[in-house]
Structure 1
Amino acid sequence: MGRFKAWLGARIWDQWCQRGPFAAAMYPLSLAYAGAVEWNRHRLEQARRSITIPAKAVIVVGNLTVGGSGKTPMTIWLAKRLADAGYRPGIVSRGYGGRGDAAGIRVTPLSDPVVVGDEPLLIAQRTGVPVQVDRDRVRGARALTDQGVDVVIADDGMQHHRLPRDITILMIDGKRRLGNGLCLPSGPLREPKTARERADFVLVTGGEPGPGEFAMELVPSSRLQRVDGHGEGYKPHRFARRDAHAVAGIADPERFFRMLEAADIDIIRHPFPDHHRFRPHQIRFDDGLPVLMTEKDAVKCRTFAQENHWYWPIAARVPSAFESALLARLETVARIKKALI
């Protein structure tokens, strides 16, 4: 069933990248969806005028389309860079894929991914900064400031319009871009593409940036690590010119598969839907071949992983021009807020 869902998702994206019969048939629903989204945005933006978050800044990292675009690697990079710059960052997340309490949960590196979600757990493990899962982003942001956080990062928060924000970072998949430019269900957009104008920075992963955009690279680590946490890592060449099972439960499994093939690894593809909750039998095969997966999937498989299960961490690399512009903008925002207190 998992592979079928992944296949179906890929086929739907094929339709979302063109304005064919499917888009035309769904267009009336798309217009209704876009109208409802805009009405809701205006309503929540009015409500947030009376909401304050006691932080130097709130930074939103998000996208406009269904699926992945590099939000998690950007969030991790951002948290680490702000900590290095002397800020005390914290991250609020919806915790998609988890079963968390609606009242909010603080995520630790030892949290259960079934409860908090795979991405918040990965972020907590990679950054060491406070991470809060809460369906109510405002409540989650305030919980972070109660823990001493002075810059709140909202992971996948662009459509959560009730949350005040000072800086918005829009992530775009360089291959898919905005698809056919239409809203759901005719296209992949969560809200009309004019929302792009509300972004302070636009970063493109896996493709060429356009005017006013920055390129973000996803750089693989120098070593693959055992999913069970034991033993030393192996360099990619240890798997080169060998068959291996490639398992990916992310928004765009092909991105991970292409990375493995670029390392000269002969892979057997096993795509699954984004945030898939793996069962032991889904990553165990009877041929003795290594099983390679993403770090996001590894956090869900650690408790039942075997010696031949490996994950390949990736990290974001951004241009120095973006880094300088972001830090300058943050400093300005913090200074203005301090003057208004």
Structure 2
Amino acid sequence: MNRRVDRWWYGASRPLWILWPLAWLYRYVAERRKHKALATRATGAAFAAPVIVVGNITAGGTGKSPLTAWLVETLRNEGWRPVILTRGYGGRAEHYPVEVINGMSANVAGDEPVMLASMTGCPVVVDPKRVRGAAWAIEQQLGDILVCDDGLQHYQLPRQLEIAVFDGERGVGNGAPIPVGPMREPVSRLATVDFVVFNGEPKTPLAITHPNLYVMNLQPRALRHLGSGEIRELSWLSGKQVKAVAGIGNPSRFFNTLNELGAIVQGNSFPDHYQFRRDDLQVEEGQLLVMTAKDAVKCQAFAHDRCWVLEVAATLPQSFREALLLAVKSIN
């Protein structure tokens, strides 16, 4: 997301108020598409496997992928065989559906699918048409439960559980629809989701109420050398000069984490899903370069010897785990 737009959307005011006619049009078109998709879904058969949808009602990154990784690991520990469904934003596959395989380029499958496949080791099926991808995954007997990453507005996909994710620092921003604000759907949409998860403690007064609201934290785990795979402890970063690059929804969160680990950080933010080039990774004498796992999958081919990846993992309260598993078990 453009940093200027990010400031306009996630501040308290609405400097783009002049675009309200476009916001009304956006909301009208979105509602029409929703009703049409729901009508189509109502006439179709449900899948032979439960579907959990993870998504958001705001534009930009919120932490959906780390939550998806946590979900499939939790389900796998309970004996399920989860499959991740994803659009594959930024990928250019020759055909769909496509299953992410070891060594597949992010240019083909998209950065998040390649990252999720590497992080979780479970099947990841990429298809802009999630219904087709879901049907194919079941036909291929890849698993027995489907987790759709970023599918809250993909209403043609039948689902049994919905989880809405918010960035704790940004919340709903100015609360206005796109393009005046960041809202894909109104806050009232949350009345129909099963769980709401905040990525980090909310920093502003909540405009959101929900009976099943939980806080997720992304905990840094280790540093991984992008070339060799060598693992180092987080304490190794303390006092080091670091050039940090991030093409994610909220780069400042990543930079702040590195600062908290004791690094002396020069932050370089890029648009979400940015296609990095060799020149973007240049460092000064004595600097290390540290990036996110999502960005690393796009830089493997041209990374230099000072490129490191900060590995993080989602942590959620036991109460959420118990409520989620109870909800999954109650699905007929």
Give the TM-score range, shorter chain: over 0.9
Within 5 A, what are the aligned runs for 1:1-341? 9-18=2-11, 20=13, 22-148=15-141, 149-208=143-202, 212=211, 213-221=213-221, 223-228=222-227, 230=228, 232-333=230-331, 336=332
Count of aligned pairs between the two proteins: 325
1:185-222 per-position Cα deviation (integer Å, ceiling 9, x unaligned): 0110112222121210000012248653101011111x
Q: Which moved more, 1:149-158 or 1:188-197?
A: 188-197
Shift of 1:174: 0.8
Distance 1:306 1:319 in 2: 38
TM-score, normalising length: structure 1: 0.91
Aligned alpha-carbon RMSD (Å): 1.5
Distance 2:152 2:169 in 1: 21
Instruction: Verify the 8 A CA contact 2:49 2:138 in the aligned structure 1.
Output: no
Instruction: Verify the 8 A CA contact 1:92 1:134 in the aligned structure 2.
Output: yes
Instruction: Verify the 8 A CA contact 1:53 1:141 in the aligned structure 2.
Output: no
Shift of 1:125: 0.8
Instruction: Verify the 8 A CA contact 1:18 1:180 in the aligned structure 2.
Output: yes
Tell me which residue corresponds to 1:339.
none
What SS does the aligned partner of 2:265 have?
A: strand
What SS does the aligned partner of 1:313 have?
A: strand
Distance 1:34 1:67 in 2: 17
- Per the alignment, do residues 21 and 255 of structure 1 end up closer, same or farther by CA in structure 2, a change over 3 Å counting? closer
What SS does the aligned partner of 2:122 have?
A: coil
What SS does the aligned partner of 2:299 have?
A: helix
Which structure has greater helix proportion? 1
Report % sequence identity: 37
Distance 1:147 1:82 in 2: 20
Distance 1:69 1:179 in 2: 12
- Any stretches of 5+ residues in structure 1 without a counterpart? 1-5, 337-341
Shift of 1:28: 1.5
Instruction: Verify the 8 A CA contact 1:224 1:233 in the aligned structure 2.
Output: yes
What SS does the aligned partner of 2:15 have?
A: helix
Distance 2:88 2:14 in 1: 35
- Per the alignment, do residues 135 and 102 of structure 1 end up closer, same or farther by CA in structure 2, a change over 3 Å counting? farther
Distance 1:297 1:286 in 2: 20
Instruction: Verify the 8 A CA contact 2:163 2:195 in the aligned structure 1.
Output: yes
Distance 1:64 1:318 in 2: 21
- Per the alignment, do residues 243 and 332 of structure 1 end up closer, same or farther by CA in structure 2, a change over 3 Å counting? same
Aligned residue type for 1:224: L
Distance 2:10 2:322 in 1: 34
Distance 1:115 1:281 in 2: 22
Distance 1:19 1:258 in 2: 22
- Per the alignment, do residues 19 and 206 of structure 1 end up closer, same or farther by CA in structure 2, a change over 3 Å counting? closer
Q: Which moved more, 1:46-55 or 1:68-77?
A: 46-55
- Any stretches of 5+ residues in structure 2 without a counterpart? none
Shift of 1:56: 3.1
- Per the alignment, do residues 217 and 19 of structure 1 end up closer, same or farther by CA in structure 2, a change over 3 Å counting? closer
Shift of 1:285: 2.3
